[in-house]
Chain A
Amino acid sequence: MIKVEKLSFGYPEEAKNALQDISFQVPEGSFVVLCGQSGSGKSTLLRHLKKEQIPAGKKTGSVRIAGESIVHMSDRNSCQWIGYVGQWVEEQIVTDQVWHELAFGLENLGIDREEMQIRVAEMAEYFGISNWFDKKIDRLSGGQKQILNLAAITVMQPKILLLDEPTAQLDPIGAERFLQTVKKLNEDFGITVILSEQRLEQALPLADQVLILHKGRLLGQVSPQKLPTFLIEKEKEYGREFPISAGMPIGIRLVKKALELDTDYSLPSAKLSSVLAPLTIKDGKEWLSNWCQAFCQHSFPKTKKILQENHMKAEKKNKSFALVAKEISFGYQRHDTLLKDLWVSIPKGCIYGILGGNGAGKSTLLKLFSGIYKPQHGKIRSNGTCVYLPQNPKLMFTELTVEEELMEVFLYNRKKQGNSIFHQTSCQNKDNQQLPEQLSQVKKILKILHLEEQSQSNPMDLSGGQAQKLAFGKLLLMEADLICLDEPTKGLDALGKKELAKLLQACQEIGKTIIIVSHDISFCANYTQYCSLLFQGRFVATAKTKDFFKENRFYTTQTRKLASLSFPDCLTDEDLLKEMEERMRQEKKIL
């Protein structure tokens, strides 16, 4: 169906090609997941498969769809056959009403009204949109909007769907629903799907094949079950670990680790490699118990009893708190209270995670903490200044270059000392040299954040991760003591998350307190010290992170779900892999 031959592409004014010598074929009706860390050329590759979206630059090689070169395809066929959904949910919506959005593509094709009516009705039924068919689009949730985007494409009856990180901006439930819908489209109508995705845990079980991109090159095309062996081979070839390996779902990482550890065990290894890598938790559990039977016959898993002490109480007396909230209540409407009598005390110098479902009031709570809203009842006392980093950090940027963006902070710092903000600007314009101290401070921050190369570019042009770093830098310069982060891991890949975590830990070391609101359970499990679950306007559970996730059966990390029987002490991927290695070593000693 899709045939790409020796495709290379470079953006203008960039020395290095964004895509290098890419060839692959996608058979009709298959579901392909495209993975790679951000900046590896996933979006660029997807854009080359749709005529209207091909970016400007040097391009060699060819892309053929159903035997026809994509460049020579007629406009009508191109927009009818190839559907594209990107990650920006809002931006893809054109009109103000659901029914009109569904009809938009058909209107453009000039299809007559009777047929349009049938097609729109059909799609609304198929996607389960009929309940909100009459609504205005700004009343929909993010997940619904993205489903609508998909439906508005599908109504044109495409043969190929190109999805560029469609779930990056969605919450886990919305993402799951979206991916299931895509899978259903693929199975019911044989639509070929190419999906680029960061949430591999959810996407890989759906895929027939996986394409892996690394720095603009295609590593290969494999079925997801064979990923572990494939990655090991390629890593041997390249001589180092790919960052994408760390972003793989736990099942694949487990098998990969087992195979790597198993160099001198000939017999069980052969047994294992014939087993396909587990993609779901259920298969993973089975695989892990098999592994334990094969390797841990001598050292049975020690079942440590989880101590259910409440450390919080003991520590409360010794520790000082960065923020104490007592009995706060808040609601947007008069009779509808979102937060009810919420108590929380956040210890100084920790990373504190707040978890909870959609619309539980997590973001609202952060806004209350940072003083954007005032609680209707109760008191919040914070020890030092508390600032808020929004989900979309670009909302914070007002200047033209990254450097100016950071310098801008000093205007307001000056304000705190009692001067007008203009006092600063006037001398800044005359002579930049007057502020060597501040400039060097900015340079230092840029260096810490690895943003030196971007120091003269527009903050709006930064990628998601970079924008977040810059926003973080601003907050650091403001000398805030408490930093509230709203969904900081949204749209970041595994490497981005790791960098963010490093940054957070560095901040923690210099004594800042950090509050994270997140849907990302594994991130919270890895990097926070305390976690709270917000439900029905209150914190229903607050504990040290380890205890928090161990006590929960359902609301916990994938690893914990998978290894709750065989490795009861492991919460995160890294824990589990380490534990496996340890056990292997013991086994070898005994033998």
Chain B
Amino acid sequence: MKKLKWNQRHPITIFLHASMMLLGTMLTMHPVMLFLSLIGAFMYGMVIEGKKWWQQFRWCIWIFAIEMLFFPCFRHNGVTPIASIGGQAITLESVLYGFFMSILLISSYAWFRVISFWIDEERLLYLFGSIWSSFGLLLSMIFRFLPMLRQRYREIQEVQRGLGRGNKNLSLPEQIYLFGKNSSTLISWALEHTIETTISMESRGYGIGKRTTFHRFVFRLQDVFWCIGMIALEMIWGLGFIKRYYVMYYFPALEMQWNSKTQFGIIIYAIGMFSVAVTELCVFMFRKKEVS
């Protein structure tokens, strides 16, 4: 992954932006907005992952298949029949609804994927830790413990194989028996490990008083601007949302809102979706020039 500017922002800024993108995508069924969201997410994804990004979306064809072909067979609302199966009509509205629903699902997935690059464990820890300090610590301990547990189990398995008890020569019940035995070794190891860790925690003063949390983030002036900007955008867009300016009706007949207020909302939406990706892209291009 390339080093990106946005990744170095304060977790709160990132969190604000991320939640805005997700809410904006998931709350609306307006086709223009959905397309904008999809393009925004993909733009960012391309900046982050390059060609690898596309490989993640091969399975999306199945979403389209299910939403556009399978569901309309059971969803008979709508007024424009295009085919009929067993006397039941398949309507244009239903197929279109399925199409935009798939777009919604895919762009939500894409945003989640993008966000997983933004918010790494340290940021997650900060976000939780600032709300509830012990939970933050717990998360951190889990992040350490799980990979260790997996590594240990692999070691135990290897040892059993080294004793000539590979899975190949055992029948299924025997394999289950062996699995049980291995797990019991793993559990007793884990318990012992935990005891030692508690001693270490205690001797470093865990539980003697109120904890503070350490983090390495600085809330910069840029973060302030970003946050203010994003909150302002969100409020303007949210007002339109509450007033139902961006509603799209699919059933019984297609009916799309398209007045000046909707158009204004869409512009706001586009600014929100593309702002980060565009700044990132600018930085990216600028840097490339600098290097060459």
A residues adjacent to B (C-beta < 8 A): 50, 52-53, 75-76, 79-80, 84, 86, 88, 90-97, 99-100, 103-113, 116-117, 120, 137-138, 152-153, 156, 367, 370-372, 385, 387-388, 390, 392, 394-398, 412, 415, 420-422, 460, 474-475, 478, 484
Interface flag for B244 (CB, 8 Å): no
Is the C-beta of B162 less than 8 angstroms from some C-beta in chain A? Answer: yes
Question: Contact at A76–B205, with CB atoms within 8 Å?
Answer: yes
Known contacts A371-B162, A372-B162; decide if A156 and B156 are in contact (CB<8 Å): no
Closest CB in chain B relative to A104 CB, distance in Å: 6
Given the known A-B contacts A53-B199, A106-B214, are A412 and B165 also in contact in the complex, defined by CB atoms under 8 Å?
yes
**Could you say which residues of chain B place their CB within 8 Å of the CB of A95?**
137, 140-141, 143-144
- State the main secondary structure of chain B at its contact with A: helix
Q: B119 CB to closest chain A CB, in angstroms?
A: 15
Give B contacts to A, CB under 8 Å.
Answer: 121-122, 125, 137, 140-141, 143-144, 147-148, 151-152, 155-156, 158-159, 161-166, 169-171, 173-174, 177, 181-182, 184-185, 188-189, 192-193, 196-197, 199-216
* Given known contacts A105-B205, A372-B162, A420-B174, A395 and B155 CB-to-CB distance under 8 angstroms: yes
Asked whether A108 lies within 8 Å of B143 as measured between CB atoms, the reply is no
Which residue in chain B gives the minimum CB-CB distance to A366?
B162
List chain A residues, Cβ under 8 A from B147. 138
A-B contact pairs, 28 of them (CB 8 A): A50-B203, A79-B203, A79-B208, A92-B196, A93-B200, A94-B144, A94-B200, A94-B204, A95-B140, A97-B121, A100-B125, A105-B204, A105-B205, A108-B208, A108-B209, A110-B211, A113-B215, A116-B212, A138-B144, A371-B161, A371-B166, A388-B162, A388-B163, A395-B152, A395-B159, A395-B189, A398-B185, A421-B177
Q: Compute how far the CA of A65 lies from the CA of B120 in the bound complex, rounded to whole angstroms.
A: 44
Assembled-state Cα–Cα distance A137/B148 (Å): 10
What's the nearest-Cβ distance from chain B to residue A507, in Å? Answer: 17
Which residues in B have their C-beta under 8 angstroms from that of A76? 205, 208-209
Which chain A residues border B206 with CB–CB below 8 Å? 108
Contact of B199 among A52, A110, A120, A396 (CB under 8 A): A52
Q: Which residues of B contact A116 (CB under 8 A)?
A: 212, 214
User: Distance (Å) between the CB of A486 and the closest chain B CB?
Assistant: 10
B14 → A minimal CB distance (Å): 18
Given contacts A92-B197, A107-B213, A138-B148, are A396 and B163 in contact (CB under 8 A)? yes
* Partner among A106, A120, A398 whose Cβ is within 8 Å of the Cβ of B182: A398
**A93 with B214: CB separation less than 8 A:** no
Sort A-B residue pairs by CB-CB distance and give the 4 closest, nearest first. Answer: A388-B162, A91-B196, A79-B205, A103-B214
Are A96's CB and B214's CB within 8 A? no
With A53-B203, A92-B196, A390-B159 already in contact, the answer to whether A97 and B122 are too (CB < 8 A) is yes
- Are A96 and B141 within 8 A (Cβ)? yes
The CA-CA distance from A225 to B161 in the complex, in Å, is 50
In the complex, are the beta carbons of A371 and B164 less than 8 A apart? yes
When A79-B203, A156-B204, A394-B189 are in contact, do A372 and B212 touch as well, CB less than 8 Å? no
The complex places the Cα of A184 from the Cα of B158 at a distance, in Å, of: 40
Does B203 contact A52, Cβ atoms closer than 8 Å?
yes
Give the chain B neighbours of A152 by CB distance below 8 A. 204
For B165, the closest partner residue in chain A by CB is A412
Nearest-Cβ distance from residue A476 to partner chain B, whole angstroms:
12
The reply to whether A372 and B203 contact each other, CB–CB distance below 8 Å, is no
Cross-chain contact B141 with A94 (CB below 8 angstroms):
yes
Check A96/B212 contact, CB under 8 A, given A367-B158, A421-B174: no
Contact A415-B169, Cβ < 8 Å, known A96-B140, A107-B213, A110-B210: yes
Nearest-neighbour CB distance to chain A for B196, whole angstroms, equals: 3
Which residues of chain A are near B196, meaning CB under 8 Å? 86, 88, 91-92
Shortest distance from the beta carbon of B219 to any chain A beta carbon, whole Å: 12
Quick one: which of B156, B181, B193, B199 contacts A90, CB cutoff 8 A? B193
Q: Please determine whether A460 and B192 come into contact, CB atoms closer than 8 angstroms.
A: yes
Cβ contacts under 8 Å, A371 to chain B: 161-162, 164, 166
Contact of B200 with A107 in the complex, beta carbons under 8 Å? no
Q: How far is the CA of A100 from the CA of B138 in the complex (A)?
A: 12
New A-B contacts (15) at CB < 8 Å, excluding given A94-B140, A108-B211: A90-B193, A94-B141, A94-B200, A95-B140, A100-B140, A107-B213, A109-B208, A117-B216, A138-B147, A138-B151, A371-B164, A390-B162, A395-B185, A412-B165, A475-B163
In the complex, the chain A residue whose C-beta lies closest to that of B171 is: A420
Chain B neighbourhood of A367, CB < 8 A: 158, 162
In the bound complex, CA of A237 to CA of B258 (Å) = 104
| Whole-angstrom CA separation of A461 from B182 in the bound complex | 17
User: A97 near B214 (CB under 8 angstroms)?
Assistant: no
Question: Provided the pairs A92-B197, A421-B177, A422-B174 are in contact, do residues A137 and B144 lie with their beta carbons within 8 angstroms?
Answer: yes
Minimum CB distance partner of A88 in chain B: B196
B141 to chain A: closest CB distance in Å?
Answer: 6
Check A104/B216 contact, CB under 8 A, given A370-B162, A422-B174.
no
> Is A93's CB under 8 angstroms from B208's CB?
no
Chain B residues within an 8 Å CB radius of A412: 163-165
A94-B197, A107-B212, A415-B169 given as contacts; is B204 within 8 A of A79 (CB)? yes
B250 CB to closest chain A CB (Å) equals 47
* Distance between Cα atoms of A484 and B159 in the complex (Å): 12
**Chain A residue, CB-CB nearest to B143:** A96
A138 contact set on B, CB distance < 8 A: 144, 147-148, 151
Given contacts A52-B202, A107-B214, contact A388 B159 (CB under 8 A): yes
Instruction: Report the Cα distance A99→B202, complex, angstroms.
Output: 19
Chain A residue nearest to B189 in the complex (CB): A394
Contact A96 to B121, CB < 8 A, known contacts A138-B151, A398-B181: yes
From B141, B156, B163, B205, give the contact of A80 (CB < 8 A).
B205
Minimum CB distance partner of B180 in chain A: A398
Measured in the bound complex, the distance between the Cα atoms of B282 and A37 in whole Å is 67
Residue of chain B at shortest CB distance from A109: B205
Closest-CB distance, A52 to chain B (whole angstroms): 4
